[in-house]
Structure 1
């Protein structure tokens, strides 16, 4: 976590939003609710959150530049083996859809969510869709209040390179402009390396939204308390992406891509150990 409180400025263009469960938010730890005292918010508090991704050995993945940053998409036939369930999700199975990250101009800013006003240099989002209730990811995102479950992971600066970020960085030169895509087949990609303490996760849970347009309020947020580590150089590589197509004038690098924190509007934040 950064050493000082850093003011965050709004980086993404806003669209009219009238809902009261917008993301990201600031986690005020003195106001969180222990999950044992708030069972009514949980679907099934008796089962722990279960995260266990099957290694994607020999799987062809797609990485693309969305204009907001990079996004790694998981083929559905393999994502069936990368599901999360239990805890706040009850018996519904949420299937991994894509992974992306948010960062700032330097290591003093970058994460979308903050903890007691403090920010991390980067925040990773593993996006899942409710394959139990909905027929496809689009329906889950646009026609529900519980269609998506995002596992948010804070990233701290460390001395060692993170193995997954190393793979992402090696692909950044192939997708410099918005709309660029590249298919990649990796011999062994263990996404479990992105989720700390996954066998007994400690996290904050709340009802929220997407943090990019159109800001659908369909997300069940799970913010891991324990961060992962990556080198400063690895995160710096993300800033080399461009926000527009190659033929566009006045193109700029995606130096920062985080949204400002939003009003909580009285939503409970569950503290789950």
Structure 2
């Protein structure tokens, strides 16, 4: 078991504390065999276990359930954040603890702590999860602690598999700017233009404006871990299916940070799903009958049976009464009958 100090170091990335900018124990450089993603499991043991994140989400392998209604407290109100440029991400830490709560969606009750982004060097990849093998240029993670924990540190130390919740959204490139992202991008620029690489008291519009219609769509759920070392397997993941739009110009703004030792591809490669269950919460879900068959159209089936039976009986009646050779042969054509009556 990791010591309390080690657990807190692991959690700092996730809780919007300005730490780790000069960390040299890991990076995103694929060719680095000592500290790159392929080496994380050697340097951080949990990064080599069987419930790591991100994963490739395969729709046909997911178990479908009816989507549950979300309760998003504070998502519809302007809020104040501290913005951190951490070189490998831009992180927005919520200033007023407990002011945004996410529940419903078959999730439980969670308090938001921060959100951050993952991107790459081009518009072809950068999001961490993939969907049916498809990659996205950007992914945002809204990180929460379970509401019954007093602090994020207590949640991490619990080592419970649902101590944290991460709610993720993909982005896709569109021709025009997404105006709902402009305020967030202004915060990115503000943090990068300070000597401390952070700015406090930054106001954002409502988060549900940020996410748009994506939050009303299908979503996937599975149990996994942090996507940075030490990969603590304490995260209940929710990933929405519908992407948010962003322009190529807006992506350039997000990528415009200074070169650093973490590389340029700020996302972890997908990890094996293994035996884990992935659930698809489907907004168009239709219940199935036992045995996997959809409920039939009773009226249609009844009408088809009625027509089939009526026509079938009529055919059998006609055949038996008038067309069968046995009937005609016995009554009128049998030689014995003719011979007995007229031939002797």
Structure-2 separation of matches of 1:28 and 1:210:
20
In 1: Cα distance, 2:131 partner to 2:242 partner: 12
Deviation of 1:164 after TM superposition, in Å, equals 4.5
User: Is the 2:120–2:137 Cα contact (8 Å) retained in structure 1?
Assistant: yes
Deviations 1:242-273 (A, max 9, x none): 46xxxxxxx45863200000011110110101
- Partners of 2:83 and 2:215 lie apart in 1 by 28
Residue from 53, 75, 80 that aligns with 2:74: 53
CA shift for structure 1 position 70 = 0.5
Q: The residue matched to 2:113 in structure 1 has which SS?
A: strand
Query: Structure 1 residue 120 and structure 2 residue 145: aligned?
Result: no
8 A contact 1:108–1:121 mirrored in 2: yes
Relative contact order: is structure 1 or structure 2 higher (C-alpha 8 Å, sep ≥ 6)? 1
Give the Cα–Cα distance (whole angstroms) in 2 for the partners of residues 198 and 118 of structure 1: 17
Contact 1:110/1:120 (<8 A) preserved: yes
How do 1:244-259 and structure 2 match up within 5 A?
251=260, 255-259=264-268
Cα gap change, 1:253 to 1:221, in 2 (>3 Å):
closer
Q: d(CA) in 2 for partners of 1:55 and 1:204?
A: 23
* Unaligned residue ranges in structure 1 (runs of 5+): 1-7, 37-44, 244-250
Structure 1 distance, partners of 2:261, 2:29, is 18
Spell out, residue by residue over 1:120-162, the C-alpha distance to the aligned partner (whole angstroms, 9 max, x if none).
1111111111112x11112223422111111110001112322
* Separation in 2, partners of 1:194, 1:149: 19
SS of the aligned residue for 1:135 comes to: coil
Pair 1:73–1:28, CA change in 2 (3 A): same
- In structure 2, do the counterparts of structure 1 residues 48 and 27 end up closer, same or farther at CA, with 3 Å as the change threshold? same
Q: RMSD over aligned Cα, in angstroms?
A: 2.7
Greater per-residue helix proportion: 2
**1:129 is the counterpart of 2:145:** yes
Consecutive unaligned residues of structure 2, counting only runs of 5 or more, are 1-27, 31-35, 283-344
Tell me if the contact between 2:29 and 2:265 (Cα under 8 Å) persists in the aligned partners: no
The 1:184/1:100 distance shift into structure 2, 3 A limit, reads same
CA deviation string 1:216-255 (max 9, x = no partner): 1111111111111011111112222246xxxxxxx45863
Q: Which position in structure 1 is the counterpart of 2:281?
A: 272
CA deviation string 1:182-207 (max 9, x = no partner): 11342x61111233446744101100
User: Which residues of 2 match residues 213-228 of structure 1 at below 5 A?
Assistant: 213-228=229-244
Find the partner of 1:32 among 53, 62, 68: 62
Q: Answer with 1 or 2: which has the greater Rg.
A: 2
Match of 2:82 among 62, 84, 90: 62
* Residue 184 (str. 1) matches residue 201 (str. 2): yes
Change beyond 3 A, Cα 1:175–1:200: closer
Alignment of structure 1 residues 169-248 onto 2, 5 Å = 169-176=185-192, 180-186=197-203, 189-197=205-213, 200-242=216-258
